[in-house]
Amino acid sequence: AVFAGMNGSAIENFSCVIYNVSFMNCTWQAGRCAPGDTQYFLYWQNSRYVDKMECELYIKDEKGRNRGCRFQNVKIETEKAYFLVNGSSKDSLIQFYDEYIELYKI
């Protein structure tokens, strides 16, 4: 789902991979029309009963922009986890991206 903000500024190709049971990597690409200074922030919620948590360890590109996240000690408490990536830029409003993902399918 895509909401307010400049068209084409939300992230693209969001995906997450779980490996070694408790590690998860999520990656994305900057929106095609996002200004060069856009920085993205990932939040997720893996159970209905906890608050959204921000990524603790971002994967950065050569310009220092966040393009992924490494999670450690992931406990899958529901089948579906909620992911939200929002962005900020000095130049324009950035659309956010959100998705529910069935983690056992990742």
Q: What is the CATH number of the domain that holds 57?
A: 2.60.40.10
The predicted structure's pLDDT at residue 104: 63
Please report whether residue 5 resides in a domain. Answer: no
CB atoms within 10 A of CB 73: 8
Please report whether residue 6 resides in a domain. Answer: no
CB 30 within 8 A of CB 37: no
102 Cβ contact partners less than 8 Å away, ≥ 6 residues apart? 79, 80
Total domain count, the chain: 1
Please report whether residue 1 resides in a domain. Answer: no
pTM of the model: 0.86
Query: Which stretches in the chain have pLDDT values below 70?
Result: 1-3, 76-78, 104-106
The predicted structure's pLDDT at residue 98: 95
> Amino acid identity, residue 18?
I
Please report whether residue 31 resides in a domain. Answer: yes
For the stretch 5-32, pLDDT in tens is: 899 999 999 999 888 878 899 999 999 9
Please report whether residue 56 resides in a domain. Answer: yes
Please report whether residue 34 resides in a domain. Answer: yes
Please report whether residue 81 resides in a domain. Answer: yes
- For 18, the domain range is 12-105
